[in-house]
Structure 1
Amino acid sequence: MRINLPTWLTLFRVLLLPVMVIVYYLPFRGANLTAALVFVLAGVTDWLDGYLARRLDMTSAFGAFLDPVADKLMVAITLFLLVQSNPGGWPGILLAVTAAVIVGREISVSALREWMAEIGERSKVKVAFLGKLKTAMQMIALVVLLLQHDAETLRYYHIGEALLVVAGILTIWSGLDYLRAAWPALRGRDDEVKKTEKKPVQGG
């Protein structure tokens, strides 16, 4: 298997994740800024690998598999870091619940897309504008939270939390939108299974 440039960028994004984790916990001045910059760099590679794959016609099966995995790892790991070091109280609970909603939705939609691909209906659950808006809001919120997680004042941290809650609402909304788009296929398959179960057994 030959790895092309967009896939190398995706692999680079995966390798940036442990770097971000290490930097996040290192006790030096500006660690939060450095972790946020690593996250932003990972986000830039996410846009760049997709752009190059389309522009240079360098799509591949491995790249198509790895890209969404890298995206979800990037978001999930960042959320876990932030939840682990949250300031506690109701803001911390809100952050934890929102993180659980976002990660749970990502797992559910990934499973839905995989199932739809198996039955040849993947196009019905392709990424829509609402999903892109959710991703953009999520990324902005995570950058703010990374920058502010150890600041003396949590004023901007709370702004990041509010943005993440909005992203969480969009996450639920877009997830339900994907489910609605897939529902006819899900319902149709369920009806087929029921008809098969009711079919009389032939032979003796």
Structure 2
Amino acid sequence: MPSGKPLITANQVTLARLIPMPLLSWLIYKGATENNDTYLWSALIAGTLIGCTDWVDGMLARKYGPTVLGGLLDPIADKVFIAFAYVPFADDTVGLVPAWACALMFTRELFITALRSAYEQRNLTLKTSYLAKVKTWTQMQGIGVMLLFPLVDNPRVLTWFLSISTVLPLVVMGAIWVFKRKFFRGGLVMAGSVAPILAMHLAFDTLWTIRWIMFAVVAITWISGLDYIAAGWKQLRGRGDFSRADGVRLIGSLALPGLLFANLVSVPLWVPAWPVFTVLSLELAVGGLDNLMSHHKRATKALAWGGRVLGVCALLVGGLLVPDHADLFLYGATAVSLVGVAAEFWRGRDYFLDKRIRERALREAAVHQPESQLT
């Protein structure tokens, strides 16, 4: 591992990735509402660049060594990126994909995050599977493809593009095997993810192709979490120490996405969408922090966690029941989430910012031997 200090750190790249994400959503909305391809092309380029930075910060982390802060920020940035891209797709003003499909996708994200916290508190450790990495790649690829299809009017151009995108990774994989005797499974993943899109493009029109792509993304998202649920849930129940804190986390993870997307498509059009972006991004972010705090046995208690999440859910229900004042309920939900999440990050700041406390926490955690380990 290089000993010199890099000019740009992985954490700086990750933070830089977070900054332009609202711009991506704005470009999608602007392009859809004004029927202006320039904005949509800009959104496609911006999304591609943001996605590429994920590879850059990963490369820097591998080269110069990971940090606790980087381990916290990187998955948060991935999830927030997905949120800022997919929420506009589900909004009626854009209307590319069904809102329920997006709600299902984010339900999985929050549910698995809640389960991970429960596992971490009990020293039940599950390694991230390769399928989970494929899930992230598929979600990001879906953003680009669903933006590209409405922009390219010529079906032949799309057919050639998708065909080349299917064959080229296989050629690269073969070349790596011939010259380096290494199996590049990423090439197989890339080709395997594009080939079904090509088949759908040949079989359906543009709108249905986009929707089938979304259904496939949701399916892969959930399939990637099934091993996590199956492997850990049985042991979690078998321990007999399921707590109220676990309950409020799991209930909140199941209720929140559906209520958010119901508000997105059910409230009057004059109600802004940014509260949905904000609440979803905040809750995805604090879930990552909760995993870290649970690992150090400093997880938030049931009352505080439930007060925030269930309070947000109650306000979202209010927005659905009183649509004429839905904006006020959404603003209230955003305020509750923002204050609660800010308090969580402030409370846990030492575990990802203060080096001495991080090291002490790691030493304390190392004293406790895991009673059970999931592999």
Please give the residue correspondences for 1:74-153 in structure 2 after superposition, counting only pairs within 5 Å.
Answer: 74-85=81-92, 92=97, 95-122=98-125, 124=126, 126-148=127-149
Secondary structure of 1:43's aligned partner: helix
Q: Aligned residue for 2:10?
A: 6
Instruction: Quote how far apart the aligned CAs of 1:73 are.
Output: 0.9
Structure 1 runs not aligned, ≥5 long:
194-204
Q: For 2:119 and 2:72, how far apart are their aligned partners in 1?
A: 15
Instruction: Quote how far apart the aligned CAs of 1:14 are.
Output: 0.7
Please give the residue correspondences for 1:33-112 in structure 2 after superposition, counting only pairs within 5 Å.
Answer: 33-57=41-65, 59-85=66-92, 92=97, 95-112=98-115
- 1:87–1:35 CA distance, 2 compared to 1 (3 A): closer
Q: For 1:113 and 1:136, how far apart are their aligned partners in 2?
A: 21
Instruction: Quote how far apart the aligned CAs of 1:192 are.
Output: 8.3
Q: Aligned residue for 1:182?
A: 232
Q: Aligned residue for 1:172?
A: 222
Q: For 2:60 and 2:15, how far apart are their aligned partners in 1?
A: 14
- Alignment check: 8 A CA contact 2:14 2:74 kept: yes
- Alignment check: 8 A CA contact 1:131 1:174 kept: yes
Q: For 1:148 and 1:7, how far apart are their aligned partners in 2?
A: 33
- Alignment check: 8 A CA contact 2:146 2:210 kept: yes
The number of residue pairs the alignment matches comes to 183
Q: Which amino acid aligns with 2:90?
A: V
Q: For 2:220 and 2:29, how far apart are their aligned partners in 1?
A: 30
Q: For 2:82 and 2:239, how far apart are their aligned partners in 1?
A: 32
Q: For 2:18 and 2:147, how far apart are their aligned partners in 1?
A: 18
- Alignment check: 8 A CA contact 2:11 2:57 kept: yes
- Alignment check: 8 A CA contact 1:142 1:160 kept: no
CA distances 1:98-128 after superposition (whole Å, capped 9, x unpaired)? 1111111011111222232232223x1x321
Structure 2 runs not aligned, ≥5 long:
1-7, 155-203, 244-375
CA distances 1:173-198 after superposition (whole Å, capped 9, x unpaired)? 222211112124312432688xxxxx
Among candidates 195, 213, 219, match of residue 163 of structure 1: 213
Q: Which amino acid aligns with 2:69?
A: F
Secondary structure of 2:15's aligned partner: helix
Q: Aligned residue for 1:31?
A: 39
RMSD of equivalent CA atoms: 2.7
Q: Which amino acid aligns with 1:116?
A: Y
Q: For 2:145 and 2:242, how far apart are their aligned partners in 1?
A: 48
CA distances 1:139-161 after superposition (whole Å, capped 9, x unpaired)? 22221222345777994443232
- 1:31–1:115 CA distance, 2 compared to 1 (3 A): same
Q: For 1:61 and 1:87, how far apart are their aligned partners in 2?
A: 38
TM-score (norm 2): 0.44
Q: For 2:83 and 2:242, how far apart are their aligned partners in 1?
A: 36
Q: For 1:52 and 1:188, how far apart are their aligned partners in 2?
A: 41
Q: For 2:43 and 2:18, how far apart are their aligned partners in 1?
A: 15
- Sequence identity of aligned pairs in percent? 30
Structure 1 stretch 167-176 or stretch 150-159: which is displaced more? 150-159
TM-score (norm 1): 0.77
